[in-house]
Chain A
Amino acid sequence: MKLTKTLLASTALTVAAGMANADGHMANEMTIVSWGGAYSNSQQKAYHDPYMAATGISIINDESSPEAVAKLRAMNEAGNITWDLVDVEAADAIRLCDEGLAMEIDHDEVLAPAPDGTPASDDFGDTIASDCFIPQIVFSTTFGYRTDMVPEGAEPPTSACDVFEIEKYPGKRALNKRPIANMEWALLCDGVAYEDVYDVLETEEGQARAFAKLDTIKDQTIWWSAGAETPQLLADGEIFMGSTFNGRLFSVIAEQGQPVGMAWDWQMFDLDGWIVPTGLSDDRLARVMDYLKVSTDTQRLADQAKYISYGPARASSAPLVGQHAELGIDMAPHMPTDPNNAENTFVNNYEWWADYRDDLDAKFQAWLTQ
C-alpha cells in the first residue's frame, strides 16, 4: 500500500514536472544560445547583466552555437523550439533563413535607431547579410605568426599572402579545414585582382589554379577545425604562422603575452549576430524582441568591445569603443575595422558561397585526401 502510494505520488510529480518543462519557459526566462568562452562572457557583461538588472528577466546561456544549424532543424522537425535567440555566423544565418528556420526581421521596426536618428538598417548598413540576420560584431579570420621564428634578416610577415612564401618563411602553417577563405586567399595571392576572385573561382580553371597554389604549401600545413587550435599551435611553437579568428590572436598576444604578431593584410571579414528561431509563441517572441531592441543599440554594441577585440557592427558604435575592461589597453588598434589594420580587407561573399559551398567542399575534401 505504502509502495503504491509512493509510486503514484512520484509518477504524479514526474508528470507535473514534465508538463512544466514541456511548456518550456516560465514567464521570465529566456534561453540565449552563443559560442561560449570569452565571447559569451563579453555578451554576458555587455548585454545580459544590464538587461537582467533592468527587467528582472533571467537569461539562460546555452553554448550550442557550433551545432546551432543542425539542432534548430531538429527542433523544428520535432515542433518544440526551446531556444529564444541564437548567435550564428552570417553564412549560417543565410542557411537558416533559406531553410525557413529563422524568422525574417524588419530591422527598422525591431531595432533601435542610432542616437542621431539614423534608422537601424542604415546604421548597420551592409552588415545585414540576410533578412533574418541581426548583426552584432565584425570579426576577421587573419594570420598570426611567431615573432621569434622569423628568419634572420627577413621582414616579419604582414599579409595573408606571406603564408604562401614557403622559401622566405620556412616552417609549418595552419589553415582552416574548409574551402571558405583558403580558396580566395590562394587566388588573390596568385595574382588575381580582388574584384575578380569570385568570377575566377566559378570556373574549373580558376578552381584548379587555387588548388595548385594551395598545393605549394599542402605538405607543410596543419588543417584545423576548431578556432582554438591555431593559438595552441602558435603557443607551442608547432607552426610558424596560421589563420584563426582575430579575437583568439588578441588573447594570445595581449592576455597571455606570447611572442606572436599579426599579419593583418587581406584579413577575411566575417559577421556574427543574432537570429530568432521561427515558431516562438507570441509572448516569448515579444520578450525576445524587447531584448533585441535593447541589446543591439549603439551603446551596448560598443560596450561589448571592452571585453573582446571584435568590432561593433553599427557604424555609430565605432567612436564609442574604449579600453579593455581588465587590461586597460586601448581596444581600437586591435579591432579588425581599425584603419591601420583594414588597409586591404577581403569581404566574404556569402551568397556566392551558399551556391558553391556543396560543390567546392566536395572538391576540397577530395583534394585534401589525395
Chain B
Amino acid sequence: MTDAAQNTGPMMAADGTTLKSSLNRALRRQKLRALMLIAPLLIFVLVTFIAPIADMLFRSVENQIVSDTLPSTTDALKDWDSSAGDIPAPEVFDALYTDVFIAQERKLHTRLGSRLNYELTGVSSLFRKSGRKVEDMGEVYQDQFEDLNPFWKDAENWNALMGSDAWLGAQNAWDPKSETAQPAFELREEIVGLLPQTAEVFEIFADFVQNERERNLAKTDPWALVYSAFYDDLRREPDVSSYGGTGAAEMLEAMAAVSSFETVDTTAAFADIDKDWHDVEVWQTIQTYSPHFTSGYFLNAVDMKKSADGPEMRPDNEQIYIKLFVRTLFMSLVITGSCILLGYPVAWILANLPARTANLLMILVLLPFWTSLLVRTSAWKVMLQQQGVINDTLVWLGLVADDSRLALINNQTGTIIAMTHILLPFMILPLYSVMKTIPPSYLRAAKSLGATNWTAFWRVYFPQSVPGIGAGSILVFILSIGYYITPELVGGTTGTFISNRIAYHISSSLNWGLAAALGAILLAVVLGLYWAYDKIVGIDNVKLGG
C-alpha cells in the first residue's frame, strides 16, 4: 500500500508526510478494530446508563409544557408588563380561552396545572376548574347559531363548508368499517381567507378527531370553540358574498344576525370561573415560566425562586435543600471516617493472619455483605431503639437509668451507626488487598534498624497502605452520599439525606424537574470532590487490588 503510494505519488516519499499518514492509517485501522471489540459494551453502557441519565438530567431545565399547552397565551403575554400591577389585556384572555379549550379536550390542562402548582399554590385547581367550565363559554355562541339556523348543528354541513372538495370526495367515498385510514382533513382555500380564525380552530379540531380520537369526522359535532371563532370572524365582516359554495346563504344570514348576538366577555367569564384569574401573581407565574427552558428547578434546588426582579431566596420556613446538601456531605464524611477507624485494624489482622484463619474471618466480613440491606437495617432498629437490645443491656448493667435511655435511633447517631456497619466491607476489602501486598519483611527490617513499634508502623507500614485507604474512602463516601433506604428508616428527621427528598420528588410529588436538578447538583458535587481528590492525593495512588 505504502509502496504503491510512493511510486505513484509526487516525489515526497521520504519527507515524512506520506510516512506519517500511512502510519496514521495503519494505527487508525488498529484503533477501529479495538473499538469494534469494545463496541457491544460501549453501546450497552450508552443505551442503558448514559442516555437515561442524560435524559433525566435534561428534565431539570426542560419547560416546554407551558408554551406547548398555552401557545397563543404565552405569545400574547410577551408584551405584558407584569410590574405595572394590571391584569393582561382582553386579547390575552381570548387566547387563554382558545388554549384552555383545546387543552381540556386533549386532557392536558390538569397536567399543566400540576406543573405550575410547583411554583404557585392553587394553580392546580384553577386549571382543573377552568377546564370543566370553559365549554360553557363557547356554548353561548353555539346555541345562538343553532337557534338561528339548524344548518349549524350538523357536523356534515360544517365539513362541507370547511373542507376542500378533494377531501370531501375522499371522505364520502371512505368506508368507516374498512381497515383503510380516514382521509386526512384539508381546508378549503377560500374559507381560509374569509374565516381565518375558524379555519385555524377547525383544523386543530379535525386533526384531533381524526388522529387522536380516531373517530369519523363526518359524525363528530364541532367544538363549541369553533362557534366562538366563527362569531369573531363574522364580526370582522369579511366579504362573505364572494363565496358561493355550500352554506353561502346560511353564512350571509349569520353575518347579518351576529351584531345582535349575546356576547361573552372572556375577561369577566374567567373571573367568574375563579377570581384568581384576575390575580396578577398567576399571570406573572405563567409569564415567568413561558420559555422552553427554565432555571427555576435549579433555583428551587438551592432554596431560591424566580421573581419579577430576578432570583431571590425563599422565605426561611421553606429553606431546606442547602441544609440537606451540607448535612449529606458532613455525615458521609463522618461515616467514611468511622469506617477507616473500624476497618483498618480488621484489615490489618486479616492480612497478617495465616491464610486458613484469615479466610474464616473474611467470611465473617462478607456474610453481612451478602445479607439484604433491608434486613440489616431492620436489625439495627431492633438493636438501637429505646426498648431495644443495646439499651436493655445498658440498663441491666446499671450504666444507664431506666428513665433516661439513650436515643440511638431516629436521629443522626442511628444513621451513622447503621450506615457505618453497612458500608464497612467496602472499606475493609480494598484495605485488605493493599495490605496483602506489603511484605512483612519491611516492618522487621525497620525494627532491626532500631525503630520502635510505632515508628515502624507510622513511617514504614502506614504510607504503603494509604492507597487502600484512598480507594476505600472514595467507595464509601460516594456510596453513602447517594444512600436513601437506611437514612429513611433509621434517620428520623435529623438523619435523612438529600436523596430522601429526591426519592420523594420522583415517586410521590412527581416533580421530576426538581428531582433532576437536585440529582444534577449531587452529581456535580461528587465529580468536584473526585477532581479535588485527584489534585490533592492523585487518583493513581488509589489501589483496589493487587
Interfacial residues, chain A to chain B (CB-CB below 8 A): 66-67, 69-70, 73, 95, 97-100, 172, 177, 222-223, 225, 232-233, 236-238, 351, 354-359, 361-363, 365-369
Contacts and interface: CB of A to CB of B under 8 A. Distances in A.
Interface of B: 107-108, 110-111, 113-114, 117-118, 121-125, 128, 317-320, 323-324, 381-382, 385-388, 410, 488-489, 492-494, 501, 506-512
Nearest to A233: B385
A100 B108 contact: yes
Nearest to B110: A98
Contacts of B489: 225
A238 B384 CA distance: 11
A98 B317 contact: no
A361 B382 CA distance: 30
Contact of A95 (B114, B381, B388, B493): B114
Given A98-B128, A100-B111, A357 B493 contact: no
A237 B319 CA distance: 35
Contacts, number: 87
A100 B114 CA distance: 11
B214 to A, nearest CB: 11
Given A70-B507, A98-B110, A358-B509, A369 B121 contact: no
A67 B509 contact: no
A73 B382 CA distance: 36
4 tightest A-B CB contacts, nearest first: A98-B110, A359-B121, A70-B507, A368-B493
Contact of B122 (A98, A233, A355, A367): A355
A67 B111 contact: no
28 contacts: A66-B507, A67-B507, A70-B506, A70-B507, A98-B124, A98-B128, A100-B107, A100-B111, A177-B493, A225-B488, A236-B382, A236-B388, A354-B114, A354-B117, A354-B124, A355-B121, A355-B122, A355-B124, A355-B125, A358-B118, A358-B511, A363-B317, A365-B320, A365-B501, A366-B319, A369-B323, A369-B493, A369-B494
Contacts of B386: 172, 238
Contact of A69 (B108, B111, B118, B508): B508
A367 B493 CA distance: 10
Contacts of A70: 506-508, 510
Contacts of A222: 410, 492
B510 A369 contact: no
Contact of B121 (A66, A67, A225, A356): A356
Contacts of A100: 107-108, 110-111
A236 B387 CA distance: 7
A177 B487 CA distance: 13
A367 B114 contact: no
A92 B456 CA distance: 64
A238 B490 CA distance: 14
Contacts of A354: 114, 117, 124-125, 128
A100 B65 CA distance: 14
A99 B318 contact: no
Given A95-B114, A95-B510, A368-B493, A362 B318 contact: yes
A201 to B, nearest CB: 12
A172 B324 CA distance: 26
B111 A358 contact: no
Contacts of B320: 362, 365-366, 369
Contacts of A355: 117, 121-125
B519 to A, nearest CB: 14
A200 to B, nearest CB: 15
Contacts of A97: 110
Contacts of A351: 125, 128
A66 B506 CA distance: 12
Contacts of A69: 507-508, 510
Given A99-B111, A367-B317, A368-B493, A357 B510 contact: no
Contact of B318 (A66, A172, A356, A363): A363
Give the most central of A73, A232, A238, A366: most B CB within 10 Å. A366
Contacts of A233: 385
Contacts of B385: 233, 236, 238
A237 B125 contact: no
Give the residue among A98, A222, A365, A367 with the most B Cβ atoms within 10 A. A98
Contacts of B318: 362-363, 366
Nearest to A222: B410
Contact of A358 (B121, B319, B323, B410): B121
Contacts of B128: 98, 351, 354
A365 B113 CA distance: 23
A355 B382 CA distance: 39
Contacts of B123: 355
A97 B111 CA distance: 9
A239 B493 CA distance: 17
A359 B410 CA distance: 25
A298 B117 CA distance: 38
Nearest to B507: A70
A356 B493 CA distance: 22
Contacts of A367: 317
Contacts of A95: 114, 510
Contacts of B111: 98-100
A98 B494 CA distance: 34
Contacts of B117: 354-355, 358
Of B123, B324, B386, B388, the most chain A CB neighbours within 10 A belong to: B386
Given A99-B114, A236-B388, 11 more contacts: A69-B510, A98-B110, A99-B510, A172-B386, A223-B410, A236-B382, A236-B387, A355-B117, A362-B318, A367-B317, A369-B324
Contacts of B319: 366
Nearest to B114: A98
A172 to B, nearest CB: 8
